[in-house]
Amino acid sequence: MNIDGKALAQELRNDLAVEVKQLQEERGITPGLTVILVGEDPASQVYVRNKVRQTKEIGMISNEIKMPAETSQQALLDELDKLNNDPAVHGILVQLPLPKHIDEALIIDTILPEKDVDGFHPMNSGRLCNGDAAALVPCTPQGCVLLAKKHLGDNLCGKHAVVIGRSNIVGKPVSLLLLQESCTVTIAHSRTKDLAALCATADILVAAVGRPEMVKADWVKPGATVIDVGINRIATEDGKGRLVGDVDFADVEPVADAITPVPGGVGPMTIACLLKNTVEAARRFG
């Protein structure tokens, strides 16, 4: 069966809209999210447009700052300084990747941890690592765990979770979240030996490698829950291309107990969790 990320994201946004109203009525706060896009990367433009639309839809304030690709690092740092000091801005997101001449780590370090709704600042990743509830947690990993719980229920205790991918954005934080849920977690990656056999021991398999349709049926234990984080565009004969995940959906779907589709699985949850982090930042620090 499919785990419907679109429906779960809609539920989450409905709950958030109620929370936004409460914050306005009880404390006079309207949560505000500012997204900065440097350059004209087409995929990033689509992501940012969706973020802006959904932020407004639940009654929050959305602000989009577009900067040309040749923007200097200092100009971006200056902009962040302004936003860090603006009390109407509760969340700041700098869309990645940034142009090569800008030091991504420096930019992330400059965002106030209290406004870092991506959860990428070392203060937030450190807190997540320490199991500190004050962490703002990266959005895609949060979405993955919510999707797994949607199918398996809230108790993931003792399950073997295998995460393929060790990125700071997904692989590492989702592993830490699953560990917090008392899963036994294995982090696999491109250098892992016998990857297919290892994956086939997973009760929960999270694929976050960015390799189109890499995970096949014999990588999956019958009855496993599969969370596909990949969004890969592959060429098609009509030239339009098609989005596929890191999991070969048609191959794996009959073996798994449940699987997230691409599109319509993890993707919608990422934005919903970004809105959730922004509402939380406004509630805590607004």
The residues assigned a catalytic role are: 51, 95, 118
| Shortest distance in whole angstroms from residue 142 CB to ligand GUN | 11
Measuring CA to CA, which residue among 38, 85, 36, 86 is closest to residue 63? 36
Q: Is 94 in the site for ligand GUN (CB under 6 A)?
A: yes
Q: Is 33 or 256 the residue whose CB approaches ligand GUN more closely?
A: 33
Among 88, 96, 152, 198, binds ligand GUN (CB under 6 A): 96
Q: Cα-Cα-Cα-Cα dihedral of 111, 114, 118, 121, to 10°?
A: 60
Q: Is 246 in the site for ligand GUN (CB under 6 A)?
A: no
Within residues 103-142, the interface with ligand GUN by CB under 6 A covers 118, 139-140
Stretch that binds ligand GUN, among 10-18, 88-96, 233-241, 261-269 (CB under 6 A): 88-96
Q: Is 14 or 168 the residue whose CB approaches ligand GUN more closely?
A: 168
| Shortest distance in whole angstroms from residue 274 CB to ligand GUN | 7
Among 34, 54, 62, 95, binds ligand GUN (CB under 6 A): 95
Q: Give the whole-angstrom CA distance, residue 163 versus residue 204.
A: 8
Q: Is 52 or 217 the residue whose CB approaches ligand GUN more closely?
A: 52
| Shortest distance in whole angstroms from residue 118 CB to ligand GUN | 5
Non-local (6+) Cβ contacts of 223 within 8 A are 256, 257
Q: Is 93 in the site for ligand GUN (CB under 6 A)?
A: yes
Q: Is 93 or 145 the residue whose CB approaches ligand GUN more closely?
A: 93
| Degrees, nearest 5: CA angle 73-77-79 | 120
Stretch that binds ligand GUN, among 68-76, 89-97, 241-249, 277-285 (CB under 6 A): 89-97
Measuring CA to CA, which residue among 261, 263, 219 is closest to residue 241? 263
| Shortest distance in whole angstroms from residue 69 CB to ligand GUN | 16
Q: Is 98 or 258 the residue whose CB approaches ligand GUN more closely?
A: 98
- The values of phi and psi at residue 7, to 5°, are -65, -45
Q: What is the 3-state secondary structure (H, E, C) of 145-156?
A: HHHHHHHHCCCC
- The values of phi and psi at residue 49, to 5°, are -60, -45
Q: Give the whole-angstrom CA distance, residue 230 versus residue 18.
A: 31
Q: Give the whole-angstrom CA distance, residue 275 versus residue 12.
A: 9
Q: CB nearest ligand GUN: which residue?
A: 96
Burial of 179 (0-12, 13-18, 19+ CB in 10 A): middle
Q: Is 77 in the site for ligand GUN (CB under 6 A)?
A: no
The footprint of ligand GUN (CB under 6 A) covers 93-96, 118, 139-140, 169
